Amino acid sequence: MEVSSMFPCKGCTPWQGLLFTASILTCWHLSTTDHFGVEVVPPYVANGDSVLFLVRNLPKNLLSFAWIKGGTSMNDAIIVYIPNNNLSVPGRFHSGRETVYGNGSLLIQNVNQNDTGVYSLRAFNRRTDTVSQIGTYLYVNNILWTCGRLTPSPRPTVESVPPSVPHGGNVFLRVRNLPENMVGFIWYKWMNTFTRVEVGRYMVDKKTTQLGPAYTGRETWYSDGTLLLRSVTQEELYLIQIQRKFLETEEILVKVQVDESVTQPFVRITDTVIAGQRSVTFSCISRDTDISIRWIFNNQNLKLTESMTLSPTKCGLRIDSATRENAGEYKCQVSNRFSSKTSPPVFWP
């Protein structure tokens, strides 16, 4: 066997070399995925509340996914989402109160008892086959009662709506279950274990707000504790301190998850000759994760032939018994839900 280059990443930067080496080792193996599931947040709701069907580990590289109410027919769809186009298409059961997010989660605001029922999430691959389906049940109470034995009040929680936000987008840090004896709250920007800087505070009795040194003008907070952050550019931690009567306090830390734009990939070529047969391997090298990859040949989407093999994640393209028909310009394009970048062209042979 002859190898045209003993070190195929010659001339590249150290991180590019490491990425290239890693791609050769891992790009042809399927990676394991975490369990696909849906969590109802909060688990108990009454008329007028909002509820989030929080999706965890949505399958990657989907053509579309759909939320369906009641059965499994697409005629019962609430909303269909197409990730590549960031496009939401309302279905028959869409009431205007539903919002879908790129990670699959569904928010329903101002629920009523007609919203009680089974909800299903169906995910479709690029052959329009159903690759995953999962269901959950929502029960909307007329009113939430606490009867019999006295139970402690639910603890305050903070959720990010949406769970992840695109670079430059807005996000609500929504507070639930504020205590009745609350006298005020303070929002802090969390720097590290020993440092927090006040963004602002609110006092219930005077209905007044006070700005802190970490206030930038992008923050707005409301009397229910919710903090609105505008033009988010990076992952950050925030902490709310809830102040009760008798100098009691409670603190909750929440992370703002930001989906970054992808960086430009590049393509490396490994050329081999075995028993007189020439083969070539193209590797799409990217620093990003959770991306989809497509290959471009002579400025058109690559059409696979019998001599071509794609790795499971599509980061590798191998052509066995390569001929003149395979000669030309090759590029790869990586994309996530918010952006895409195309590599500079490489030419073979």
The CATH number assigned to the domain holding 287 equals 2.60.40.10
Give residue 70's domain range: 37-141
280 belongs to a structural domain: yes
With beta carbons less than 8 A apart as the criterion, state whether 160 and 255 touch: yes
132 and 73 within one domain: yes
Q: What is the pLDDT of residues 150-189, one digit of tens each?
A: 445 678 889 888 888 887 889 999 998 888 889 999 999 9
Average pLDDT over residues 115-139: 78
**For residue 334, with 0-12 CB atoms within 10 Å meaning exposed, 13-18 middle and 19 or more buried, which class applies?**
buried
126 and 41 within one domain: yes
Could you list the beta-strand ranges (E) of 193-265: 195-203, 208-211, 219-221, 227-229, 236-244, 249-259
With beta carbons less than 8 A apart as the criterion, state whether 167 and 73 touch: no
146 belongs to a structural domain: no
Cβ atoms < 10 Å from Cβ of 292 = 19
The residue among 106 and 128 whose pLDDT is bigger is: 106
pTM (two decimals)? 0.43
159 belongs to a structural domain: no
Of the chain, the end-to-end C-alpha distance in Å amounts to 18
Cβ atoms < 10 Å from Cβ of 65 = 24
Q: What is the pLDDT of residues 286-324, one digit of tens each?
A: 988 878 999 999 999 999 999 999 988 899 999 998 888
Q: Which residue type is seen at 3? A: V
Alpha-carbon distance of 98 to 226, in angstroms, equals 20
49 belongs to a structural domain: yes
Q: Which of 199, 201, 226 is nearest to 212 (CA)?
A: 199
With beta carbons less than 8 A apart as the criterion, state whether 285 and 16 touch: yes
Q: What is the pLDDT of residues 50-70, one digit of tens each?
A: 889 988 888 877 888 899 987
Instruction: Answer whether residue 254 shows pLDDT above 80.
Output: yes
204 and 230 within one domain: yes
163 belongs to a structural domain: no
Count of the separate structural domains present in the chain: 3
230 belongs to a structural domain: yes
292 belongs to a structural domain: yes
247 and 271 within one domain: no
46 and 11 within one domain: no
- Of 141, 157, 183, the residue that ends a domain is 141
